[in-house]
Amino acid sequence: MSTNSLSLPSNQSAEFTLARRHTSDRRGPVRWVISHGLRHWYLFLSMVVGAFGNAALAAVTPILIGQAFNALLATPARPQELLLIALQIAGTQFLRGVLHLMRGFSAELTAQRVERDVRDELYISLIGKSMTFHNLQPVGDTMARTTNDVREVNFLFSPGVNLVLGSLNFLFMPLFFAPRYHPSLILVPILFMIAYFVALWQYLHELNPITSAVRRAFGKLNTRLAEALDGIETVKGMAQEESEVTRFNDNAGAYRQAVVRQGNVEARFMPMLLLTLAQAFGGLHAVLLYRDGALTLGDVIAYIGLLQLFDFPTWTSLWAYSQISLGISAARRILELMNRENWLDQNASGYAQPMTGAVEFRQVDFHYGEDARPAGAPSDEGPRLADLSLENISFRVAPGQTVAIVGQTGVGKTTLVKLINRTYDTTQGQVLVDGVSVRDWNLEALRRSISIIEQDIFLFSRSIAENIRFGKPDATQEEVETAARAAQAHEFILSFKDGYNTVIGERGVTLSGGQRQRVALARAFLTDPRILILDDSTSSIDSETEDKIQRAIFTAARGRTTFIITHRLSQIRWADLIIVMRQGKVTAMGTHDQLLQTSDVYRKIFND
């Protein structure tokens, strides 16, 4: 894995900083969007040239039409000029079409590339976040930000920036060409532009908090939907379909109300009225000058045609600026996700020697909570004791020893072992592996030598072979099958029609609980870890299969440090060290026979 780093704020770190394609400015949503757009500056330049040329050639048409009227109304009439004017109109409009295509193509290509880059940066950021982050961040909201919000950033560029850039050029054309007929004709365009930008500022000022509310409401809607679908078995098992539909409707209603508020602001878009007034007073002004003999009829027609150029920027700004506001709000949500503080650091230059498997806990405390920080991290507040999960944990494990951790549900057994590979980080105290603090280890080197098989097995919607090979992608088929045999999984895998190429459902739902755990065991065995952690990993296995797996685990544990979280006496008895936990503390340690003599808590667990 590459150790190159993304561009992060000085106070920001990432658990894993993967290979990057580019840097970005994360100091604010506008800066961030601009930094992505400027990577494609040549496309932006093409947009500017296309937008200016398109607007300038659009202004040529009313001017030429005015000349045509003057040629027809002249005394004598000059009809021979009409063919030349028609050819000029045709030629300029053909060129205008080419420039319009260039602007649109450049904008769309920029938008698609920015969307690609943003997705890449966001995905790398999410993969690099710690489990503390992922435990606190709702999956549905994350999916909303990685899909819909990223798409809104795309729309910010096309059609948003594309139309705004094009329409702004249309605004300036009457200022350039109107004075050629009479100096006073610049008055209405100037007044319109001043009023237009004032009204636009007020419009955006009112719209910005509403578009942010729209994005938040969508995130909440998506979060609830993801939770309901992820827990669909529980919903159906408890007959709560109707209540979930009601909750979804409530969230959908909140999203609808936010969108309606946005529509109400857009409906009161003041520049539409300003456009009508500008065209009315501009036309009246030109007619009065014509009456006084200061303008010809062709000049009046050309000037009114120039005022018609205000149509495009006025109509498009009604929703183009809304799209930009939505895009900025979406960028703010994406940036907030990427910039959220993460106290685990990959420590690419850290200790990375081959591991022997010695583990030591020195007066370790750990607590959950949104403000939980490791020791030494800056904080204005102390740890929230109400969230305390582990307190003053101290013990030593020699390389190759097998350790059983026992205790009632919720005493912190799983949390304790996840401190070893820094899935979580200690609040106080130290965890050492081979005498080196885990914070001083290169995180990748640390985790590659530790395998955890959890009670809730996660398998990917891929083939069985790919799931086993996940921790060692370059493993041969022979190595995969050897690991599967060691985990007592080879026989049932071959019973499937496609064998190791059988594609399992999401989270392995097409396999039984025991089959999932055996595949997970094979995945762990394949990586040949120096520290093996089994978190109640045989809870869903029948007695016959358990006996086979017990022999496999016993064989696998030789030469490596093994932590077993279990309630099964058959696994506890042969452990070199048994740690008894109660309410986040270690109450006793020793062998099975020693604890039967000295620990009331252990005897109670054993008797139960």
Cβ-based neighbours of 39, under 8 Å, separated by 6 or more: 22, 113, 117
Statement: residue 170 has pLDDT above 80: yes
Confidence of residue 75 (pLDDT cuts 50, 70, 90): confident
Highest mean pLDDT among 163-172, 224-233, 318-327, 498-507: 163-172
Confidence of residue 76 (pLDDT cuts 50, 70, 90): confident
Cβ-based neighbours of 334, under 8 Å, separated by 6 or more: 118, 122, 145, 149, 150, 153
pLDDT for position 361? 95
Q: Model pTM?
A: 0.68
Statement: residue 239 has pLDDT above 80: no
SS3 391: strand
Alpha carbon distance 50, 100 (integer Å): 6
Average the pLDDT over 137-155 and give the result: 86
Alpha helices in 353-435 (DSSP H): 413-418
Confidence of residue 10 (pLDDT cuts 50, 70, 90): very low
pLDDT for position 125? 84
What is the distance of C-alpha 556 from the center of its chain? 39
CB 156 within 8 A of CB 165: no
pLDDT for position 7? 36
For the chain, the structural domain boundaries read 29-339, 351-377+384-449+529-608, 461-523
Statement: residue 349 has pLDDT above 60: yes
Confidence of residue 6 (pLDDT cuts 50, 70, 90): very low
Tokens at residue 447, please? Answer: 């985790």
Average the pLDDT over 242-248 and give the result: 84
Do domains 29-339 and 351-377+384-449+529-608 share one topology? The answer is no
Statement: residue 177 has pLDDT above 50: yes
Q: Residue 601: name the closest of 577, 570, 579 by CA.
A: 579
Superfamily, domain 351-377+384-449+529-608: P-loop containing nucleotide triphosphate hydrolases (3.40.50.300)
Tokens at residue 288, please? Answer: 């009065």
Average the pLDDT over 162-190 and give the result: 91
What is the average pLDDT score of the chain? 83
Q: What is the pLDDT of residues 286-300, one digit of tens each?
A: 999 999 989 999 999
In the sheet that holds 577-582, the strands lie side by side as 450-453, 531-535, 561-565, 402-406, 577-582, 585-590
Describe the crossing of helices 162-177 and 311-339 by its angle, rounded to 10 degrees: 140
Average the pLDDT over 230-252 and give the result: 79
Q: What is the pLDDT of residues 398-452, one digit of tens each?
A: 998 999 998 888 888 888 998 998 888 888 999 999 999 999 998 888 988 898 8
pLDDT for position 8? 39
Tokens at residue 587, please? Answer: 């109450």
Average the pLDDT over 560-575 and give the result: 82
pLDDT for position 539? 57
Straight-line distance from the first to the last Cα atom of the chain, in angstroms, rounded to the nearest whole number:
47
Statement: residue 304 has pLDDT above 80: yes
CA distances from 230 to 146, 342, 469, 503, 573 (A): 18, 26, 26, 20, 38
Average the pLDDT over 522-547 and give the result: 75
Q: What is the pLDDT of residues 87-99, one digit of tens each?
A: 999 999 999 999 9
Statement: residue 160 has pLDDT above 80: yes
CB 291 within 8 A of CB 182: no
Sign of the CA dihedral with 138 first, then 139, 140, and 143 last: positive
Kindly state the percentage of the chain with pLDDT values over 70: 87
Confidence of residue 284 (pLDDT cuts 50, 70, 90): very high
pLDDT for position 21? 58
Its CATH architecture, for the domain 29-339, is: Up-down Bundle (1.20)
Q: Please give the full DSSP string across 396-414, using - where no structure is assigned.
A: EE-TT-EEEEE-STTSSHH
Alpha carbon distance 410, 509 (integer Å): 26
